[in-house]
Amino acid sequence: MSTKLTILQVLSENSGRYVSGQELADILGISRNSVWKAANKLKKQGYNIESMSGTGYRLINSGDILSEDYLRENISHPCRIQVLEKVDSTNNVAKTLSDCSTPRIIISNEQTGGRGRLGRGFYSPAGTGLYMTITFKPSFGLDRAMLTTASAAVAVCRAIEKVSGLRPNIKWVNDIYLGGKKLCGILTEAESNFETGTIEKIIVGVGVNCFPASVPEELTDIMAFMENPPREFSRNQLAVAIANEFFSTIDHFDKPAMLRDYKSRSFILGQQIRIFNPAVARSMGLSPQKEKEGIKARAIDIDENGGLVVEFLEGRRSRQMETLTTGEITIRKIDD
């Protein structure tokens, strides 16, 4: 680990107190002057390090600063990393990249136009959330690509649990929930070459509501944050954990194991839900008003392709089974 990263780690572990220059020098095996130079470099990178002559150094708000150095040092999979202050959407940035033979990771401190499925917005205030996109050229075909979102959901849940001790759940197909509220959204997109029939690029956007923030009134009852976790964490640590878990899942793909993990984290299986999709509603002969209310069903299983197996509980297809794929379908638990 580099000198700067070691200093950050020591200061973070001693949050709330000053660490003397001599103590840092002894830990690193360098001179106090070298400690001073490294601390100044960290300040220039944006870290809020307070120094006091004769007392030492203290790191303030360590979880709020995103560091390319930290990410490069700790993400185990070879990739190119870019940290930005503000963008409309990290997925949009990924779409402009022409060469993804080496995976790319884009992280922004803020998004002004964060997106979810079906064109929905994802509120992305500065300094409190993790907004990241992983984009890569897959070595696999379309069948396996269909499971990328499910793989990402499992990786994100594992990462959150690893760094914070919290255990979130998955709402099919791409939302992560905590305490009945949405903690994270995942948006997977792909670019294909129609001439060759291959996937040129897979883009996986992940937005996590890390620390409590002031949010619009209409979101206060539906947004979750990683509040009061058993273990303190930083956005850097979470980004590293998500990237490492994701690449591990992709590189050592074990479909049965991934699907078992996905199912074990689902909070809708066995539950009554409402399905919102005009085509499905019309196939059941339901009125336009009933379409708006949603179709009552029970979530039965997740199939081998990540589809949701449901049993309809009303209409002319009552008691019939169907497998839903992502597309334009939205589901909601009936007790939501």
What per-residue string of b and e applies to 21-47 under the rule 16 or more CB within 10 Å gives b?
A: bebbbeebebeeeebeebbeebeebeb
Q: What is the pLDDT of residue 111?
A: 93
**64 pLDDT tier (thresholds 50, 70, 90):** low
Judged against a pLDDT cut of 80, whether residue 44 lies above it is answered with no
Tens digits of per-residue pLDDT, 199-251? 999 999 999 999 988 889 999 999 999 999 999 898 999 999 999 999 999 99
Q: pLDDT band at 280, cuts 50/70/90?
A: confident
Q: Distance between CA 328 and CA 118 in Å, rounded?
A: 7
pLDDT of residue 7: 87
pTM, two decimals, is: 0.82
- Write the pLDDT tens digit of every residue in 257-270: 999 999 999 999 99
Q: Given the DSSP bridges, would you call strands 80-84 and 104-108 parallel, antiparallel or unpaired?
A: parallel
CB atoms within 10 A of CB 143: 9
DSSP string, 115-156: B-GGG-B----TTTEEEEEEEE--SS-HHHHTTHHHHHHHHH
- C-alpha angle 244/248/251, rounded to 5°? 135
- Percent of the chain surpassing pLDDT 70: 96
Q: Within the chain, how many helices (H) and strands (E) appear?
A: 11, 14
pLDDT at 11 over 90: no
* Residue 61's pLDDT band (cuts 50, 70, 90): low
- For 141-167, the pLDDT digits (tens) are 888 888 999 999 999 999 999 999 999
pLDDT at 119 (0 to 100): 63
pLDDT, tens digit, for every residue of 17-35?
Answer: 899 999 999 999 999 999 9
Instruction: Tell me if 276 sits within 8 A of 282, measured CB to CB.
Output: no
- Decide if 79 contacts 243 (C-beta within 8 A): yes
β-pairing, 272-276 with 198-209?
Answer: unpaired
* 173 upstream amide cis, omega within 30 of 0: yes
**By the 8 A CB rule, do 295 and 281 touch?**
yes
The rounded mean pLDDT for the chain is 90
Residues 6+ away with beta carbon under 8 Å from 197? none
pLDDT at 118: 56
For position 317, what pLDDT does the model report?
Answer: 86
Confidence of residue 12 (pLDDT cuts 50, 70, 90): confident
Of the pLDDT bands very low, low, confident and very high (cuts 50, 70, 90), residue 67 is: confident
